[in-house]
């Protein structure tokens, strides 16, 4: 098993250690013990998963929809034993198929394309899947630089000291790239996008500080000759005066 295959498998490894004895993960975990780089990646991955899990615990379904949810989840208990026997056969096969597909995509990574119907919010939605995990702004910038993608010339102190989550690079298919650096700031996920000379025409800096896009708070601005965009679903009080 090579590292891309191990990473794809371990991306499903739960951060609470519940899968430590699962034989499906054994080979990949053994590989971590002998590969410091892979072990470091897993540590960052689990830290990120734990932070996302903590943020999601604050999201609750509306009480008014409880009855509707329960109604759609009803199950005839008379068929439970038959379903159980079926699940013992089908679910392991489905899991193996998903792992095989995951390994295939890991060995043949797909390029993250910039959508034709461009919105900063659409790129922010794609941040659920990051290309590289890292804890600090310096590590994020270093990896983005290795991809030949634009790197912010300077960052406000708020970002320099923030907890890093990971980064991602989008391409337009013609050589243009947009970088994404993802941070956690005071419990909020904050995405910073950097456009290169070829992709900066996709957006224009607005006189308005913040705009709403598909549930995201988005701010587009110029800094040090670069076009940047910030996107978050959280409160704007902390970010309102970052530049």
Identity of the highest mean pLDDT range in 2-11, 85-94, 160-169? 160-169
Q: For position 109, what pLDDT does the model report?
A: 45
Reduced to 3 DSSP states, what percent helix, strand and coil does the chain have, rounded to the nearest 5?
Answer: 45, 20, 35
Q: For position 7, what pLDDT does the model report?
A: 82
Q: Is the pTM of this model over 0.85?
A: no
Task: Output the six-digit token pair for 177.
Answer: 């790239």
**Angstrom distance (rounded) from CA 160 to CA 243:** 13
In the chain, what are the domains? 3-107 (no CATH), 120-232 (3.40.1000)
Tens digit of pLDDT for each residue in 197-243? 999 999 877 656 888 998 899 999 888 889 999 999 888 877 766 65
**Angstrom distance (rounded) from CA 119 to CA 223:** 20
Q: Across the chain, what does the average pLDDT equal?
A: 78
Identity of the highest mean pLDDT range in 34-48, 70-84, 177-191, 229-243? 177-191
Provide the percentage of residues in the chain whose pLDDT is more than 90.
Answer: 24
Among candidate residues 121, 115, 116, 114, the one with its CA nearest the CA of residue 213: 121
Provide the percentage of residues in the chain whose pLDDT is more than 70.
Answer: 72
Q: For position 128, what pLDDT does the model report?
A: 75
Give strand pairing partners of 170: 178
Q: What is the pLDDT averaged over residues 151-177?
A: 90
Q: Coil, strand, or helix at residue 69?
A: helix
Q: What is the pLDDT averaged over residues 100-113?
A: 54
Confirm if 183 and 160 have CB atoms less than 8 A apart.
no
Instruction: Kindly tell me if the per-residue pLDDT of 68 is higher than 60.
Output: no
Tell me how far CA of residue 92 lies from CA of 18, 24, 79, 101, in angstroms.
Answer: 18, 11, 20, 14
**Angstrom distance (rounded) from CA 177 to CA 150:** 7
Please state which of the ranges 53-62, 190-199, 223-232 shows the lowest mean pLDDT: 53-62
Tens digit of pLDDT for each residue in 16-47? 777 777 778 888 888 888 888 888 888 888 77
pLDDT band, residue 106 (cuts 50/70/90): very low
Q: What is the pLDDT averaged over residues 96-122?
A: 65
Q: For position 242, what pLDDT does the model report?
A: 63
Task: Output the six-digit token pair for 14.
Answer: 């739960």
Q: For position 198, what pLDDT does the model report?
A: 94
pLDDT band, residue 100 (cuts 50/70/90): low
Q: For position 58, what pLDDT does the model report?
A: 54
Q: Which of 236 and 49 is assigned the larger pLDDT?
A: 236
230 contacts: CB under 8 Å, gap ≥ 6? 190, 191, 192, 193, 218, 219, 221, 239, 242
């Amino acid at each position: 098993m090579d590292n891309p295959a191990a990473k794809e498998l371990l991306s499903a490894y739960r951060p609470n250690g519940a899968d430590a004895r699962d034989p499906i993960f054994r080979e990949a975990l053994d590989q971590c013990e002998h590969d410091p780089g892979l072990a470091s990646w897993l540590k960052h991955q689990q830290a990120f998963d734990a932070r996302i899990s903590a943020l999601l615990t604050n999201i609750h379904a509306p009480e008014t929809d409880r009855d509707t949810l329960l109604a759609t989840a009803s199950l005839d208990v008379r068929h439970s034993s038959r379903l159980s026997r079926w699940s013992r056969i089908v679910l392991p096969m489905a899991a193996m198929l998903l792992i095989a597909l995951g390994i295939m995509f890991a060995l043949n990574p797909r390029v993250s394309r910039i959508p034709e119907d461009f919105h900063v919010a659409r790129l922010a939605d794609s941040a659920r899947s990051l290309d590289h995990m890292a804890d600090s702004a310096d590590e994020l910038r270093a990896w983005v630089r290795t991809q030949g993608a634009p790197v912010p010339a300077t960052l406000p102190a708020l970002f320099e000291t923030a907890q890093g989550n990971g980064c991602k690079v989008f391409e337009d298919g013609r050589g243009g790239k947009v970088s994404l650096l993802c941070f956690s700031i005071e419990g909020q996920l904050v995405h910073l996008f950097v456009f290169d000379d070829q992709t900066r025409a996709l957006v224009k800096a607005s006189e308005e500080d913040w705009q709403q896009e598909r549930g995201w708070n988005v701010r587009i601005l110029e800094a040090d000759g670069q076009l940047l965009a910030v996107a978050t679903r959280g409160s704007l009080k902390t970010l309102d005066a970052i530049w």
